[in-house]
Amino acid sequence: KSFLNHTAYLSCFFANSQAADIKDLRVFWQKGTDEVVHEVYYGQEKHDNLSPKYINRTKMDMDKWTLQLFNAGIVDEGQYTCIIQHRVKGSPQVIHKSKCSLHIIANYSQPEIALLHSGEQMAAHWPKKYLNLSCSSSGGYPEPKQMSWLISHENTTHRVTGHTDVSQDAETKLYNVTSKLNIPVPTNILTNISCLLQLGDQLGSLVSVPLGI
């Protein structure tokens, strides 16, 4: 995993790497099946075969056998393959091959609750006030798992899932998420309403500043 616009580190460590002389090795990184990301040709960086979008964006740390990919973007997500060939009597033989997948993370903004308007709905012939709330968070990646609402009063909290819209910017590929909630106005009891954005696998969650009613 790498944060958007930061350096991604792709490992290609293999056993007995200390025993190998870099001048006898060809180290070759590719993305998918046809994009050449980086090449070290018997001790020398080689740029002839690189895919244009990786030119001047990579650096190989030969001590740690790690490829640094600078300014990692969402388009860089995917599977990378590292192939190491060893020159034996003139003919190269593959001595190591490994794959790794790159996932990009962009931080969502802290969710913010806004009061849309309080409407009146007739229920059982008497007017009852309703709260129309929205909660929004923007500029994140990958797509969030869920946005929900936490309604707390006294010692109890319950979770409510409202109507949620998720949109993706066509250019940046970043996501914006908005949830709307319509609930009766609490009466005679202090109620705190928070909005919770769940980001998914190992990414945790974000919570809004609570709204006190």
Concatenating the DSSP letter of every residue in 46-88 gives: --TT--GGGTTSEEEETTTTEEEESS--GGG-EEEEEEEEEEE
Q: How far is residue 49's CA from residue 66's CA, in Å, rounded to a whole number?
A: 20
Q: Mind listing the pLDDT tens digit for each residue in 86-114?
A: 877 777 888 889 999 999 999 999 999 99
Q: How far is residue 142's CA from residue 94's CA, in Å, rounded to a whole number?
A: 35
Report the top-level CATH class of 112-212. Answer: mainly beta
Q: Stretch 113-130: mean pLDDT, rounded?
A: 65
What average pLDDT does the structure give for the chain? 87
Peptide bond into 142 cis (omega under 30): yes
DSSP letter at 141?
B
Domain with CATH 2.60.40.10 in the chain: 2-105, 112-212
Q: Mind listing the pLDDT tens digit for each residue in 34-78?
A: 899 999 888 788 888 889 999 999 998 888 889 999 999 999 999
Instruction: Identify the pLDDT of residue 77.
Output: 95
Can you point out the beta strands (E) in the chain? 2-3, 8-11, 25-31, 35-41, 44-45, 58-61, 66-69, 78-88, 91-102, 104-105, 112-123, 126-140, 146-153, 156-160, 163-168, 175-184, 191-200, 204-207, 211-212
22 to 4, 29, 84, 87: CA distances (angstroms):
32, 15, 10, 10
Q: How far is residue 115's CA from residue 95's CA, in Å, rounded to a whole number?
A: 62
Instruction: Identify the pLDDT of residue 185.
Output: 80
Instruction: Identify the pLDDT of residue 118.
Output: 56
Instruction: Identify the pLDDT of residue 21.
Output: 73
Q: Which of 176, 168, 9, 27 is nearest to 76 (CA)?
A: 9
- The residues with which 62 forms a beta bridge, in sequence order, are none
Dihedral angle over CA of 171, 141, 133, 146, nearest 10: 130
Q: Position 108: which residue type?
A: Y
Percent of the chain's residues with pLDDT above 70:
92
Superfamily of domain 2-105: Immunoglobulins (2.60.40.10)
Q: What's the predicted TM-score (pTM) here?
A: 0.81
